[in-house]
Amino acid sequence: MSTAIAADRVHATRLYTLVGLTWLATRAIAVGAIVLLPRLLDDIDTYRTWLPALRAAAFPDADPKWQYPPGAGAVVLGPDLLPVDYAVAFVGLCLVFDLAIMAALITAHSRRAHPAAMGLWLWAAAGAAIGPIMVTRFDIVPAFFAVAAILLVARPAWSGAAAAVGFLLKLWPALMILALPRRRTRSGVIWFAVTTLVLLLVVTVTFDGALSFLGNQRARGLQVESTGSIPYWLFTLVGGRIASGMDYGSMQVQMAGAEAVGTIVTVIGLALLALIAWWRLNGRLDGVSAGDVGVTLVLVMVASSRVYSPQFNVWLIAVAAAATINALSRMRTVAAILVGVAVLTQFVYPLFPTNFVDGEAWIVLIQAVRIAGLVGATVLAVRAIALAQRSAHRATADAAATLSESTPPDIGTRTTTSAD
């Protein structure tokens, strides 16, 4: 027995060492690429323009690019407090949270009853799959809190608090509350609400315009990289031309029906999210891991959003990594597809953005395959948990029927029958 344990420890040490070295190599490549593609610092330059307002305890609500919950202000302002160049400090901050995700995954993997290495390799390789944008936008920070919410599912209070912090950074980590099993949902929701209210109160008292981002979010149109834009891009392959323009910090489709298409796709996504929430709250997904439910929720949200920015792949792969450190995960194929989607995204941005906006056929085809991969992964994820909930529902019904058949009538019923 001791020999087997020693062998397992040696194997684990080798695995974690190789994973760590892979993480280090891919992040070195990502950071090095920034030197070759200085336009990747554009978002960091935008963050710089918000610093005067944040230093004055106000949010930059006059800029339509400010579309983030109030917690994002802390992430933007934080690097400004360090005695180095703002861009260097910002990339360093992203790498710290990136490393924290890697460490959390390794720790969770070492404690799993049924561990799988896929999640570790997924995140270690993410720097190459997603590219340098991974460390030039702050999405990795809310991704850390979403991963924490999944990995802390056995401690729903901590999980709820982590989801709340992520929610105040970029909204979407709130979905992780629905990933909690039904028996832990109440505690998670309570701590999510308490943490959100306390932090929001602190920010509201300290800063002006804490909720100003909501107006800019509502005004966004159909982004050219989103799922809903695909019909317009396919139109260019038969001689048409897509009309687009920069608005609210991104290129948006400016053609007839774009608003309606965006609304239809969003409604479909909301309906699916509501269905998954109903399954979860009714206990039909109790046999599905929090990670698998979390991946499905985030996929549905991204695939049905009017916006699909390249950095959203950070969310998807982070949550997929948290799911697939479990050998029982149903999301292994989904995770593999997401890696391919992330790689293809780099062709759209940052490698060939001008070719994409100009509608060159080869890059339009890449965009079509990329979105097909995203939608395909979403369908597979929803199907996986749908089959799981159907099996659980059927098993519950069968158990109830068996119990009903095996339970004898009560004494009162037998006595009455005998008297008759």
Distance in angstroms (rounded) separating the CA atoms of residues 51 and 227: 33
For 377-417, write each residue's pLDDT tens digit.
Answer: 999 999 999 998 887 666 555 555 565 666 555 544 444 33
Place of tokens 């901590």: 158
Domain boundaries, the chain: 2-210+219-393
pLDDT at 399: 56
- Which pLDDT tens digit goes with each residue over 236-278? 888 888 888 777 667 899 899 999 999 999 999 999 999 999 9
Contact 345, 368 (CB under 8 A): no
* SS3 readout for 35-59: HHCHHHHHHHHHHHHHHHHHHCCEC
Q: What are phi and psi of 244, to 5 degrees?
A: -140, 165
**Encoded tokens for 398:** 């069968």
Q: What is the mean pLDDT of residues 149-160?
A: 96
If residue 253 lies in a helix (H) or strand (E), which one and from where to where? strand 250-253
- Residues contacting residue 276 through CB under 8 Å, at least 6 positions apart: 178, 285, 293, 296, 297, 300, 382, 385
CA distance to 64, 170, 288, 312, per residue, from 256 (Å): 23, 30, 42, 27
How far, CA to CA in Å, does 385 sit from each of 164, 284, 313, 321, 372? 25, 9, 21, 17, 20
- Give the amino acid at 247: D
Taking only the tens place, the pLDDT of each residue in 172-229 is 999 999 999 888 889 999 999 999 999 999 998 888 877 777 666 666 789 999 999 9
Query: Which two structure tokens, joined as six digits, stand for 365?
Result: 């085809």
Report the residue count for the chain.
420
**Poorest-confidence range of 43-47, 122-126, 237-241, 307-311?**
237-241
**Looking at the whole model, is its pTM more than 0.85?**
yes
Q: Give the CA diameter of the chain.
A: 94
Query: Burial of 51 by CB count in 10 Å (0-12 exposed, 13-18 middle, 19+ buried)?
Result: middle
| Cβ within 8 Å of residue 213, ≥6 positions away | 59, 61, 66, 67, 68, 69, 70
